[in-house]
């Protein structure tokens, strides 16, 4: 529960509200008005809040904290108005079964209050002067940014200009597991300005040997929320947000849109293909990794460069590949995911800084058992409906895309053809004919009989195939973006 009050805070009464038979620990924080700040004497404070927004954000923060630390009950009260020296400005109480959860929850609330709540304070000084201070500025150490990044910025390939690029970057990390934890930690340490974590899972005891952002205190907590809180403590100067939910076909385009680079740290082929296609469609670079036992592989998929994930797994659907085997729940050597996660962070930083040689069109294989590393070319299929059109359309006017897309019903007499991967059990919408995605001859045959409208589950294969056929001179082929 979160409350704003203009009257003095009564700690004894608040403690009673948290009293319960199942409570083994009561952790209390009292933030009091002191007689100095940043070397200046202070006589009193005035707190002013944007009440409605502060109530909403405070309630959301309490709910988030109770989710992060299952079994806790949180009560937070913040004063507004004029306060004298020694008055309590903020009171936080956490009832929990054990002290560790109480300490952690209490710390999370006070640090996030200063960062997130729209509350300002006016400091009054003995000489009669007064100044407004945004409380959130105390949560960040503004004077040490140069020192924090000094060793990194000293690299000629980085420098102040490169550090500024990192501060402006918007990076998405999908999967906060064995790969995502080290990757996100190094990205936060490097000074990525806007970092978003996506994961719908909870921290489990079996995760802790390899998922280095978490401790036993976070068992049962949402991974995305717990990971974001840990990264904010590691680098308070950056913006870290969490999406507590799984990647889906519905949310992938919005999550990917506007990102500087995306890291695929997932553990299954279904999510891997979904993220790959969303990045390809949005023109966002993707750094992907996977680990099994002692071995791992790293791939960098650059927009406009052939040799995509569909080329790599030609003719195989994500569902079929996941039935054969995925990384989820399998045996894994913890340093293997650590090494691959760090390499993902390295590739992402190279993309953002524009330095070094990127692993485009190559798969890097790492084996920690025998200490070997091998880079192999990713073959680009000339008939790939996703990336083959890139090479064939290099000389085509980009404006030609304007007439490529159409909606069902806007092309009288058009044949609606729904493309599926071999082995994919998805059913086409009513009125659409099902066709294998790699059957170009059949699509050409349809085009001889009149206009063809191509569609697919995510919209990317149909657009790619339509571009490919138009480049060959088949002008009456159109694509519908998505379903």
Domain-embedded: residue 382: no
264 Cβ partners below 8 Å, 6+ apart? 174, 175, 271, 272, 275, 276, 286, 287, 288, 289
What is the domain-level CATH number for residue 399?
3.40.250
CA distances from 469 to 88, 414, 482 (A): 71, 16, 19
Instruction: State which of 377, 396, 427 marks the end of a domain.
Output: 377
Domain-embedded: residue 383: no
Same domain, 300 and 423: no
Contact call for residues 104 and 38 (beta carbons, < 8 A)? no
Same domain, 178 and 264: yes
Same domain, 181 and 32: no
Same domain, 340 and 288: yes
Catalytic residue flag (residue 327): yes
What stretches of 282-349 adopt beta strand conformation (E)? 286-292, 295-301
Instruction: State which of 139, 171, 186 marks the end of a domain.
Output: 139
Give residue-wise pLDDT tens across range 132-157.
876 554 444 545 667 889 999 999 99
- What is the b/e burial string over 260-293, where b = at least 16 CB atoms within 10 angstroms of the residue's CB? bbbbbbbbbbbbbbbbbbbbbbbebbbbbbbbbe
Instruction: State which of 343, 377, 411 marks the end of a domain.
Output: 377
Same domain, 58 and 88: yes
Query: What's the total number of domains in the chain?
Result: 3
Distance CA(199)–CA(177), nearest Å, equals 9
- Residue 183 lies in domain: 143-377
Report pLDDT for 422: 57
Catalytic residue among 327, 384, 387, 456: 327
Rounded to two decimals, the pTM is 0.72
Rg of the chain, C-alpha, whole Å: 27
Same domain, 234 and 214: yes
Same domain, 345 and 254: yes
Same domain, 158 and 170: yes
Name which of 155, 235, 147 is nearest 194 in CA terms.
Answer: 235
Rounded to 5 degrees, φ, ψ at 410 are -95, -5
Q: Chain-centre distance of CA 432, in angstroms?
A: 35
What is the domain-level CATH number for residue 198?
3.40.50.720
What is the domain-level CATH number for residue 59?
3.90.1170.40
Lowest mean pLDDT among 20-24, 69-73, 149-153, 335-339: 20-24
Which pair of structure tokens corresponds to residue 189? 């340490």
Give residue-wise pLDDT tens across range 349-365.
999 999 988 777 788 99
Q: How many residues does the chain have?
A: 483
Report pLDDT for 283: 87
């Amino acid at each position: 529960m979160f409350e704003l009050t203009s009257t003095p805070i009564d700690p004894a009464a608040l403690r009673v509200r948290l009293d319960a038979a199942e409570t083994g620990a009561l952790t209390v924080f009292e933030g009091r008005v002191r007689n100095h700040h940043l070397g200046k004497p202070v006589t009193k404070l005035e707190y002013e809040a944007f009440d409605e927004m502060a109530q909403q954000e405070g309630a959301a923060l309490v709910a988030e904290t109770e989710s992060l630390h299952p079994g806790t009950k949180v009560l937070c009260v913040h004063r507004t108005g004029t306060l004298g020296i020694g008055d309590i400005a903020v009171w936080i109480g956490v009832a929990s079964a054990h002290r560790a959860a109480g300490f952690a929850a209490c710390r999370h609330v006070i640090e996030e209050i200063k960062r997130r709540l729209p509350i300002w304070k006016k400091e009054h000084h003995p000489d009669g002067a007064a100044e407004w201070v945004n409380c959130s500025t105390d949560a960040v150490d503004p004077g040490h940014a140069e020192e924090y990044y000094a060793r990194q910025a000293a690299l000629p390939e980085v420098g102040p200009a490169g550090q500024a690029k990192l501060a402006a970057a918007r990076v998405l990390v999908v999967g906060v597991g064995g790969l995502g934890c080290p990757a996100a930690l190094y990205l936060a340490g490097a000074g990525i300005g806007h970092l978003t974590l996506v994961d719908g899972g909870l921290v489990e005891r079996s995760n802790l040997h390899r998922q280095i952002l978490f401790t036993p205190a976070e068992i049962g907590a949402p991974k995305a929320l717990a990971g974001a809180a840990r990264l904010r403590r590691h680098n308070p100067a950056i913006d870290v947000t969490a999406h507590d939910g799984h990647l889906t076909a519905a949310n992938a385009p919005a999550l990917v849109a506007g990102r500087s680079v995306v890291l695929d740290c997932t553990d299954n082929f279904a999510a891997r293909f979904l993220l790959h296609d969303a990045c390809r469609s949005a023109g966002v670079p993707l750094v992907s990794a996977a680990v099994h036992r002692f071995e791992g592989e790293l791939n960098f998929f650059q927009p406009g460069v052939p040799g995509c994930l569909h080329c790599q797994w030609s003719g195989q659907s994500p569902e079929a590949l996941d039935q054969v085997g995925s990384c989820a729940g399998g045996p894994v050597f913890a340093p293997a995911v650590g090494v691959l996660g760090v390499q993902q962070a390295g590739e992402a930083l190279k993309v953002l800084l524009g330095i070094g040689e990127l692993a485009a069109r190559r798969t890097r294989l790492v084996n920690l058992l025998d200490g070997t590393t091998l880079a192999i070319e990713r073959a680009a299929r000339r008939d790939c409906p996703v990336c083959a059109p890139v090479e064939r359309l290099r000389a085509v006017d980009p404006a030609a895309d304007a007439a490529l897309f159409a909606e069902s019903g806007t092309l009288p007499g058009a044949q609606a053809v729904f493309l599926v991967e071999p082995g994919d059990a998805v059913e086409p919408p009513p009125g659409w004919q099902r066709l294998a995605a790699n059957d170009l001859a059949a699509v050409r045959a349809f085009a001889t009989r009149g206009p063809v409208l191509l569609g697919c589950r995510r919209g990317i294969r149909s657009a790619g195939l339509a571009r490919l056929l138009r480049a060959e001179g088949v002008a009456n082929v159109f694509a519908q973006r998505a379903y």
